Every structure is written in C-alpha cells, then in structure tokens.
Amino acid sequence: MSTAPNLVEDITMQIDSEAAKAFKSAPPELQQKIQILFSAWLKEVTSSDQTSLKRLMDKISENAQAKGLTPEILETILSEN
C-alpha cells in the first residue's frame, strides 16, 4: 500500500519580531491562510523572473481576498504591537 506524498514541509527563516509576534498570536485559521498565501507568493517569486512586482502583488492580493484575508484583517496584523 503506497502513501500519499507529503504536501507540506517545514522551513525556518528569519522575519522581523513584530511579524513573528503577529503570526504567533493569530488564530490557527488565520495562520493557515498566511501560510497558504506565503507559499503561493514564494512559488511565484522563484518561478518567474518576468513577472512584474505590481502584477505579482495584484495576484497575491486577489488570492488573499478570495481566501478571506481582508484589508482590515491585514491592517490588524500589521498594527499589532
């Protein structure tokens, strides 16, 4: 019997302390959304040298909104001390 491949993998990276605190204090559902958005962004950035920053940011914004990350939620995350 074969098993399905692992679809996620842990990585370690350094981010500023405010962002780390905001992520750690976010509810699990929001943490999952952030992880999905970051994964999508990282794949885009590393796979396409020709994608303009504006186009990439627009796509990330559209994906974020489609997954429920509103500008208000993002502002709350960014403004937490």
Q: Is 4 within a domain? A: no
Q: Is 34 within a domain? A: yes
Q: Is 60 within a domain? A: yes
Residues of the chain with pLDDT below 50 are 1-2
pLDDT attached to residue 7: 81
Three-state DSSP class for 11?
A: coil
Q: Is 6 within a domain? A: no
Q: Is 44 within a domain? A: yes
Its domain, for residue 29, covers: 17-79
Q: Is 3 within a domain? A: no
pLDDT attached to residue 50: 58
CA-closest candidate to residue 29, choices 69, 56, 63? 69
Q: What is the pTM of this model?
A: 0.54
